[in-house]
Structure 1
Amino acid sequence: MENTFALKSWVPGADASGFPVQNLPFGVFRHEGDCRVAVRIGDYALDLLNLWRIGLLDGLGLKLSVLQNDFLNDLISLGDKKRKALRSRLQDLLSENADAIEREKTNRCLKPLSETEMKLPLNIGDYTDFYSSEHHARNVGTMFRGAENALMPNWKSLPVAYHGRSSSIIASGKPVSWPKGQICDSEGIPTIGESQRVDFELEMAFVIGKNSKQGNPVEMKKAGDHVFGFVLFNDWSARDIQRWEYVPLGPFAGKNFASSISHWITPLEALEPFRTAGPEQSPDPLEYLQKQSDWHFDVTLEVSVFTVDDHEEVICRTNSKHLYWDICQQLAHHTLGGCNVRVGDLMASGTISGPNKGEWGSMLEASWNGEQPIVFGNGEKRSFLKEGDVVCLRGFAEFKGVRIELGEVRNQLLARSEEAVATAERNILN
């Protein structure tokens, strides 16, 4: 656990911002035609390339190509020792006890976020989405199979997952096109059309920070060594497309049209103080999945939907500690058969839901598959998302007066085609 809770920063507003010196998430921004690596402090991006050029990062083994880069992968590949040394140096430069001359030089490297174009932070080679929330799995299973068969027989034996599509992962701020696909109509006949059941999924994802070798499973006791940090993750879903296609091989076009992540990657070190025990696992998992230590995180999560008239409706407040399977179990199972992982790979948790209504991380659950529409504060009734909606995911952890925010994922769902809108209106009238 980092012993930094007492640290204060000289950067205006940083201490109370959710991005204090204890956080320092990494990101990438565009400046004068090139992309640069930065950390966030308060409402500023600290340009690490400029810090390096003026000599404030000497002795850390950093190269120009690492800091003037479209992605964080090369920085992550430096390894745990160098990354921790960089983090420690940045905390020294940004703390209120920093050397006066170094503080003045560092100040010149701060860029207001309001004037900064943030980019997708990772070159994501592979992406896996788990299904690790028992509350979510029970809710969905109960809807479609009944309470007696809510969990599939394998669910408590292994972390269920599917391999997603990394090419359609986008950053916060980029709009999401309305999904189209094959849907089964009420008479059991497949048709092509635009989804009528577009949904979000509230998730966290961890970023692989260390390669593994093909044929060499990652053991539970070493799995944490492969984790660089965390992002918020929205696994956008078209439920009607998904329902028709997912048997027998799982999600495909109902998921692969878009997933979105936050601009900033919160390093593992920032969340170490918030590690906690997860739910009791029964029956005991097989030996290769048995826990060595606590790898759940006490992170509060929230989803809001902003309507076209700018009304904000909070759909869900929950916590990542409700997940049944932890990140080490996910990685140990992922590599059991010899699959290798690479720096920049993304491992998402699956929808995170708590035990109570109001803690359920999707519209599918919140409206109980449309049977119990949500009444918004502006009078609208919703079962699923509407065109023009902006979905915003937020997350934070807090202890001893220090708040660590994971940024936010905010994306707007674009309008459907004119033809689809006309069809929907006819269906409503009929």
Structure 2
Amino acid sequence: MTTAAQRFATEGFGPENLPYASFSPTGARPRLGVRLGDRAISLGELATGVEAKGGPQLAATARTAADAPDLDALLAAGHTAWQPLRAWLQEVVTTEGLEEVVEAASTPVSDIAVHMPFTVADYVDYYASEHHASNIGRMFRPDQEPLLPNWKHLPVGYHGRAGTVIPSGTDVPRPKGLRPEPSGTPSFGPSRRLDIEAELGFVVGGSAPQGEVSVARAGAEHLFGVVLFNDWSARDIQGFEYVPLGPYLGKSFASSISLWVVPFAALAQARVEPPSREHELADYLDDSVDGPWGLDITLEVVLDGESLSHPPYRTMYWTAPQMVAHMSVNGASLRPGDFFGSGTVSGTEVDERGSFMELSWGGKEPLTLANGHEQAFLEDGQTVTLRGTAPGANGSVIDFGDCVGTIVPASGAAG
């Protein structure tokens, strides 16, 4: 007798991972499911099948969430529902005698459509990589220190536009806006310096109406899952507009997420110490509690099939629980579906940079691709794919799937 995990698991998508998605087989309604190997398992159908077989029972709140079309109900139910659900799932796929039940509730990944996994509530983007922030600082402010005085005292971020967080596979029209010109008078037109930002995105669950969520509570109760996140950026539009209030049109046109949400609990083996902090932190940012909270995740940036860089998330100065603590310390509420980006992930080496702005050093050092083509920023028709892996339990690998976007021409305007 075998288990479902033994039969269906593949590297990256074993029982240690079980990422969530909203998916639909051909002609069917969307349903919430998890991925095991190359199969998508409907949670509602699985629960019904396991109940009929006399297998382990699922708690009522989690059972209701399992019948939903996406993660919204599970995120609203909070950690007291999603933690037992994950434990139940791992038990079901590793129990002998339930293999046929799992198979009956599943569909090959090649035969499904995958949808936006949750409804984005508020969206915040951070700037948590010291190497990225230093590189951008040198380019944007060459006559100043690369890092501004506040950077190592708090996680710098800005409130973004939730409505333009889009699912992987959605085309990205080249954005338009005001672009700086040597004459000093800006021109309006399509961005000439369209870029990516290779990030992780964090999905928040549960509610904290009064805010003030501690680092420890963030990690234990509110960080539900992690996705790959490409926060597309129009560097010319951004450079002209961002002083004094920060990014706006240069960032709000599109932010792509991968569609399989890796449970935060699946990354327990990937937790590592963050870099040493230069300054003593305010008490609310103390992430030594129940730590470490750094994550050993390696991203990959691929352009039209060619691998360009491997940004290492373990070098990020600020951790995800610190970001939750910071966004809520002033009393700002948390609600189900809140979402935040880590900021561009970049390491110390050239092939660890997570943006074309850095890879081409602001366009001064264009990349030479394998076909001999030179370029600094993205061109129409090009496709960017982000990938990511992390160490999992029992020597396994946690795979995040792909985050894909293709650049299409701007609507209407030339220039």
TM-score above 0.5? yes
CA offset digits 1:100-121 (Å, max 9, x no partner): 2x22122111111111000010
Q: Distance in 1 between matches of 2:328 and 2:265?
A: 24
Q: Distance in 2 between matches of 1:333 and 1:369?
A: 31
Query: 1:413 corresponds to which residue?
Result: 407
Deviation of 1:20 (Å): 0.5
Equivalence map 1:239-258=2 (5 Å): 239-258=235-254
Could you tell me which runs of 5 or more consecutive residues in structure 2 were left unpaired when the two chains were aligned.
none
Deviation of 1:77 (Å): 2.3
Q: Secondary structure at the match of 1:404?
A: strand
Q: Distance in 1 between matches of 2:104 and 2:310?
A: 39
Query: 1:71 corresponds to which residue?
Result: 70
Residue 191 in structure 1 maps to residue 181 in structure 2: no
Query: 1:297 corresponds to which residue?
Result: 295
Q: Any conservation in 2 of the 1:8–1:21 contact (CA below 8 Å)?
A: no
Deviation of 1:332 (Å): 1.2
User: Which of 399, 403, 406 is residue 397 of structure 2 equivalent to?
Assistant: 403
Deviation of 1:62 (Å): 4.5
Residue 125 in structure 1 maps to residue 121 in structure 2: yes
Q: Any conservation in 2 of the 1:209–1:228 contact (CA below 8 Å)?
A: yes
Q: Any conservation in 1 of the 2:224–2:264 contact (CA below 8 Å)?
A: yes
Equivalence map 1:98-137=2 (5 Å): 98-100=95-97, 102-137=98-133
Q: Distance in 1 between matches of 2:99 and 2:343?
A: 42
Query: 1:283 corresponds to which residue?
Result: 279
Letter of the 2:234 counterpart:
A
CA offset digits 1:187-213 (Å, max 9, x no partner): 111221000011000000111122112
Letter of the 2:23 counterpart:
F
Q: Secondary structure at the match of 1:49?
A: helix
Query: 2:364 corresponds to which residue?
Result: 371
Residue 44 in structure 1 maps to residue 25 in structure 2: no
Query: 1:89 corresponds to which residue?
Result: 88
Which is further off, 343-352 or 76-85? 76-85
Q: Any conservation in 1 of the 2:62–2:81 contact (CA below 8 Å)?
A: no
Which is further off, 141-150 or 324-333? 141-150
Q: Any conservation in 1 of the 2:178–2:187 contact (CA below 8 Å)?
A: yes
Which is further off, 113-122 or 23-32? 23-32
Deviation of 1:398 (Å): 2.4
Q: Any conservation in 2 of the 1:138–1:147 contact (CA below 8 Å)?
A: no
Q: Any conservation in 1 of the 2:209–2:333 contact (CA below 8 Å)?
A: yes
Equivalence map 1:233-272=2 (5 Å): 233-272=229-268
Equivalence map 1:330-341=2 (5 Å): 330-341=323-334
Q: Secondary structure at the match of 2:6?
A: coil
Q: Secondary structure at the match of 2:278?
A: coil
Q: Secondary structure at the match of 1:9?
A: helix
Give the 3 Å change call, closer, same or farther, for CA 221–86 of structure 1 in structure 2: closer
Could you tell me which runs of 5 or more consecutive residues in structure 1 were left unpaired when the two chains were aligned.
1-6, 307-311, 424-430
Deviation of 1:338 (Å): 0.6
- TM-score, structure 2 normalization: 0.93
Letter of the 1:84 counterpart:
Q
Deviation of 1:55 (Å): 4.4
- TM-score, structure 1 normalization: 0.90
Deviation of 1:229 (Å): 1.0
Q: Distance in 2 between matches of 1:221 and 1:22?
A: 23
Q: Any conservation in 1 of the 2:131–2:348 contact (CA below 8 Å)?
A: yes
Residue 149 in structure 1 maps to residue 145 in structure 2: yes
Q: Distance in 1 between matches of 2:73 and 2:212?
A: 24
Query: 2:136 corresponds to which residue?
Result: 140
Q: Secondary structure at the match of 1:81?
A: helix
Q: Distance in 1 between matches of 2:79 and 2:330?
A: 26
